[in-house]
A and B are shown apart, each in its own frame.
Chain A
C-alpha cells in the first residue's frame, strides 16, 4: 500500500506551498514556480527530470499565460478542471498524499490561491530506455520488440496488438515508499473472474516498502513459491507472448520499473514454447518442441544417469562401450562423482561469470573455460574425455531452455548426488520426488502440468505437436475450459 498522507489541501496558497516544502524537506528535485494568472496568485509544481519541459510549455504554460479575463482562484480552477484540454491526463487532487504520488509520477501540479484543491496534468518526460529487441527471448521470425521499464509503455504495446474492449488494465499501487504502478491485464471473456479477483487481492495485500520488479510481486502471487523448485508464474519480455497468454485466459502483471511481464498461472509447458512456433510449419515446430523436452531431460538427468550406470550398472553398456569407458576412467585420479561435481560446478561458475561480466569480457571467460577445462584437464589426465562429453552435452542442452536454467542447475546436482549414492535406485527416487513436487503445484486452481495432468485431450495434444491454426481457431486455451465465450461487443 502506498504511504498515506491524507492531509487535505487548504485554501491558502502560501500555506499550501509551505506545507509542501516542509513535507518534502525542500528536496532539490521539487520545482515550485509562483506565477500570477489573471490577477490571482498561482503556483506550478513539478519534479525535476520527470516532466517534459517542451510538453509543459506547449500544453500548460502557454494556454495559461494566454488567459486574459480577470478571474479569481475558483474561476481558474474551473477553467483548468473543466473548461480546457491542456493535457491528455487530468486529475483533481484533494490531499497531499495524492499530490506527491502524482508529482513524482511526472505530473505537473497547478495550485491557485483560495482553492482547496489542485489540478494535476500528465506531462511525463523522464528518460526511458527505448523499445529494444528482447535479448532473453529471441526469435527468428517473431516480433522484435520488448517491454521496457515504463508500465504505461508496456500497456500500450499490449493494447496495440489487442484491439478488443475485452482487454482490461487495472492499475494498483504497491510499495509503501515506492508507490509502484502495477498493472493487472486480462481478457474479461477469457480469464476466470475468481482468478482475477484473487490476483488483485494478493497484489493489494503486498505490505512491502519497495516494489522494484516483478520478483517482488511473485512470492505474493505464487501460492507454491516457498515449497517448489519451479515457479507457478512465468515471465516474458515479449508483448506478443503476453498477448498469446492473455488469449489463453491467463492474467499478466506488469510492474513499473521492470521490463518483464509476470504471467499467472505459469505452466510447465510454457517453458518449451516460443513465438517462433507460430511462424514455422507445424512439423518443424513440433520437432523443436520434442527436442526441447529431450534437452530438458538431458540437462537435468544425464550426468546423474551416467554416474549411476558407470558406477552401479556397467552391465547395461555394450562391451565395446564399456571397454572404452573403463580405459578412460581408469586413467583419472578422482572418483567419478568427484570428477563430475568438479566439472559441473566449474561450468556453473563460468556461466555465472559470463552473465555478470560485461559482454566484451564475457567472451574471454568462455575461451579460458574452454581451453582450461576442455583441453588441459583432459590432457593432464585429471578428467576423462567421456565425462567431458557428457558435461558438454548437458551444458548445451541447458542452453536450449534458458527459462529453466536456475532449476536445471540445482536439479542436476541433486541427480548427480542421487546417482552417486544409490545408482539408478537413487535416480528413480529423486525423479519421483521431483515429479511429486511439480505435480503438487497449483496456481489459481490450475495445475502446473495442465493441460497434460489432469489430462485435457485437446490441450495436451498441443504440448506434443503444434496444432494447425484451424485448430487454434476452434480452441485456444490452456487454463480455462469455459473461456470460449462468444464476443458480444462492448
Chain B
C-alpha cells in the first residue's frame, strides 16, 4: 500500500512553490513596505475564501476537482482537466522562463540561464514521475532548508536593523492596497495547485489549505518586513528584495549569502517545476487514455519548458516574466470549478439516493 499525501505535506508543497515566487520577485505597485504587508494579509484572507469550495469538495468526495465528476460524466471531467492543464502549462512556462531570466540577471557571469534551465527541467522531470506524497516529503525537507537559510540571514543582519522605513506615506492608500492585494493573488498561482491536489490528502483538507495560507502570510510578511528593516527604503525600490537581502547580509565566516540564496532558490525551483509537471501529467492522464499515445502524454507537460527555452534563447525573458494573467483565471480554477463540481456531485448523490428509494 502506497502512502497518501498528508495535510501538512500538501501545505509544505504549496509553501515551497510560494517561497520560490517570493525569492524570485515581489510584485508591488509602490515602494511602501507597510502597505505591502497589510495587502499580503488581506490577500491571504481572500485566498482563504477562494479555496473554500475546493476544501468542501475534497472533504465531501475525497477527490480532486477533475475526478469528482466520476465516470458517469467523462466530458465534465475532461473539460475541467483541459482547463487545469492549460493553467499548469502556463505555470511551467512562467516558472522556467522566470528561473532562466533571473539566473541570468543575478548570476550571469557564472552559470548560463539556458544550461541551468535544461539542468533543472531534467531534475524536475524525475520529480514529476513520483507520487504526490513523495513530493510532499521532499517539500517538507526543502522548506526546512529554506527556513534555516532565512534564519541564517536574520542572525547575520540582526545588528543592522532600522525600523524607520515603516510608514504609511502613500497617496491613495485604499487604491494601493487593492492593487497590491490583486497582485499578491496573481502571484499565488500555487493556490490552484493546492486546490487541484486537495483530493490526494489523507486527513483534514481544511487544515492543509488554511495552514498553507496562514504560514504563507507569515513568511511573506516576515521576509518583506525584515528586508525593509535591513535595507530601508531600498528594499522595495527593487522587485527582488530577497536577493539583495542575501547580498548585503554578512558574517565573520561568510562575506555574502547570495551563493546560498542561489542554492535554496534552485532547490525550490526544481520542486515547483516538478510539482507543475506532476499536476500537468495527471491532467493529461485524464484527457488521453493511459493506454494510448503514452509518449505524447508524457511529452505534453514539457512543451512549456521548451517554449521557455526558446524565449530565453532570443533574450525575451524580461517581456515574459512580468506578464500578469487575469485574476479570474485563479478564481475560476481554485474556486469556481471546485464549486461547480461540488454542486454536481451533490446533485448526483441526491439522484442516486432517490433511485435507491
Residues of A within 8 A of B (CB): 308-309, 312-313, 315-319, 322, 422-429, 431-433, 435-436, 439-440, 442, 445, 447, 449, 453-455
Contact = CB atoms under 8 A, between A and B. Distances in A.
Contacts of B259: 308-309, 312-313, 315-316, 423-424
A424 B263 contact: yes
Given A315-B259, A428-B263, A439-B134, A422 B115 contact: yes
26 contacts: A308-B259, A309-B259, A315-B259, A316-B257, A316-B258, A319-B255, A424-B263, A424-B266, A425-B107, A425-B116, A425-B119, A425-B120, A428-B270, A429-B123, A429-B266, A431-B267, A432-B266, A433-B270, A435-B138, A435-B141, A435-B142, A436-B134, A445-B1, A445-B3, A454-B6, A455-B140
Nearest to A308: B259
B214 to A, nearest CB: 18
Contacts of A449: 137
A424 B259 CA distance: 7
A234 B322 CA distance: 50
B200 to A, nearest CB: 14
B255 A454 contact: no
Contacts of A319: 255
Nearest to A305: B263
Given A312-B110, A422-B111, A442 B3 contact: yes
Contacts of B271: 432
B255 A429 contact: no
A283 to B, nearest CB: 23
Given A425-B263, A428-B262, A429-B266, A453 B111 contact: no
B130 A454 contact: no
Nearest to B131: A440
A77 B255 CA distance: 88
Q: A-side binding surface: helix, strand, loop or mixed?
A: helix
A317 B256 CA distance: 8
Interface string B178-194: 00000000000000000
B10 to A, nearest CB: 12
Contacts of A312: 110-111, 259
Interface in B90-131: 103, 107, 110-111, 115-116, 119-120, 123, 126-127, 130-131
B167 interface: no
Contacts of B119: 422, 425-426, 429
A316 B255 contact: yes
Given A315-B259, A435-B142, 12 more contacts: A308-B259, A313-B262, A316-B258, A319-B255, A424-B266, A425-B116, A425-B120, A427-B263, A428-B262, A429-B119, A435-B141, A436-B138
Interface residues of B, number: 44
A445 B271 CA distance: 24
A439 B141 contact: yes
B140 A453 contact: yes
Contacts of B120: 425, 429
Contacts of B267: 428-429, 431-432
Contacts of B266: 424-425, 428-429, 432
Contacts of A428: 262-267, 270
Interface centre among A315, A439, A455 (most CB of B within 10 A): A439
B169 interface: no
Contacts, number: 114
Interface string B237-260: 000000000000000111111111
Contacts of A433: 123, 126-127, 270
Interface centre among B123, B259, B262 (most CB of A within 10 A): B259
Contacts of B264: 428
B2 A442 contact: yes
Interface centre among B8, B103, B267 (most CB of A within 10 A): B267
Nearest to A418: B119
B123 A454 contact: no
Given A309-B259, A436-B130, A454-B3, A318 B140 contact: no
A435 B260 CA distance: 18
Q: Which 8 A-B pairs have the closest CB atoms?
A: A313-B259, A439-B137, A428-B266, A428-B263, A424-B263, A453-B137, A316-B259, A428-B267
Contacts of B127: 432-433, 436
A454 B137 contact: yes
A315 B138 contact: no
Contacts of B142: 432, 435
Interface centre among A322, A425, A453 (most CB of B within 10 A): A425
A433 B142 CA distance: 11
A440 B130 contact: yes
Contacts of B221: none
Interface in B19-62: none
Nearest to B109: A312
A478 to B, nearest CB: 15
B9 interface: yes
Contacts of A322: 255
Nearest to A312: B110
A219 to B, nearest CB: 20
Interface in B272-314: 274
Nearest to A441: B134
B278 to A, nearest CB: 11
B321 to A, nearest CB: 18
Contacts of A426: 119
A428 to B, nearest CB: 4
A323 to B, nearest CB: 12
A318 B253 contact: yes
Contacts of B2: 442
Contacts of B110: 312-313, 423
Given A426-B119, A433-B126, A316 B111 contact: no
A232 to B, nearest CB: 14
Contacts of A315: 255-256, 258-259
A433 B141 CA distance: 12
A119 B142 CA distance: 64
Contacts of A435: 138, 141-142
Contacts of B8: 454-455
A262 to B, nearest CB: 22
A425 B111 CA distance: 8
B137 A432 contact: no
